[in-house]
Amino acid sequence: MHEKKPLYRKVNTRTRGVVHGGGDYKWSRNSKTEKASDAARGSMHAGRQNGFDYTPLFKFLQSKVGENWDKVHSEAMSRLDREEPIWWMVARSPAEEKSSVLMGESSYYSGLKIDGDNRLALVDPELRNEDLKPRCPCCTHTFNGAPFVRKFEGY
């Protein structure tokens, strides 16, 4: 039987210009005002996992709207390296529900939730690409993979 592809992909992290954030520590490590010991600070890279793109997972979850959550979750987990990215898009409680979710700098996706019938559902089924405005003129903003219809209107 053919094994399904994973719902994430490795990104080339050695390419020139790839930035993974950080740098705050370098400004405080020799500070005379900071009295914390090195042990209290912890690892500089604790828990960070660079080089993974979960776009296939986000598209998979969107394609499963209306289906049984237990089956969707089970299939997603069998094709992922860890569970956490699922919850970036799917709200666990009503307090976490958002109509759109920002992934990265400029990629927006429809927010998802688990409804009362244990089915994957959109938080705001009325939300459309035309409703969203870009935050800046320099980035290509997308909603569910399609570029924004509206243009940047200025500060």
CB neighbourhood size of 114 (10 A): 17
Instruction: Work out the average pLDDT over 46-54.
Output: 69
pTM above 0.85, yes or no: no
pLDDT 10s digits, 13-23: 566 666 655 56
DSSP element (H, E) containing 58: helix 55-63
What residues does each domain of the chain span?
A: 50-126
pLDDT beyond 90 at 56: yes
